[in-house]
Amino acid sequence: MLPGMDEGNTAAGSAPDISDMSFEQALGALEQIVQQLERGDVPLDQSISLYERGEALRAACQQRLDAAQARIESIVTGADGRPASTRPFDTES
């Protein structure tokens, strides 16, 4: 659980700004939301708010993963250790 957040304090209005969170913090917050929704003990209105926040966190995490993958794809070093070319991230050496 994130500091300053308890189970009753996860509405989007009272939660930290996603843009200020690290990838790991955003992923942890998303995992917490999923756990709350899976328990099924959250009132409907709060469930909707949690779902909306979860979707925003998922999108932010995906954007950061896509950016990291693009950085990795852009850096392939040559024999001399200098960047030589680009290659897709999932292509084997």
Residue numbers of the domain that contains 62: 18-85
Q: Which residues pair with 77 in a beta bridge?
A: 83
Least confident piece of the model among 26-35, 41-50, 78-87: 78-87
* Mean pLDDT within 9-27: 80
* Mean pLDDT within 33-45: 96
- Residue 36 · residue 7 · CB < 8 Å: yes
- Tally the domains of the chain: 1
- Cα separation, 26 vs 24, in Å, equals 5
Supply the CATH number for residue 27's domain: 1.10.287
The answer to whether residue 58 is domain-embedded is: yes
Q: At residue 83, what is the residue type?
A: P
Taken in order 5, 11, 13, 19, the sign of the CA dihedral is positive
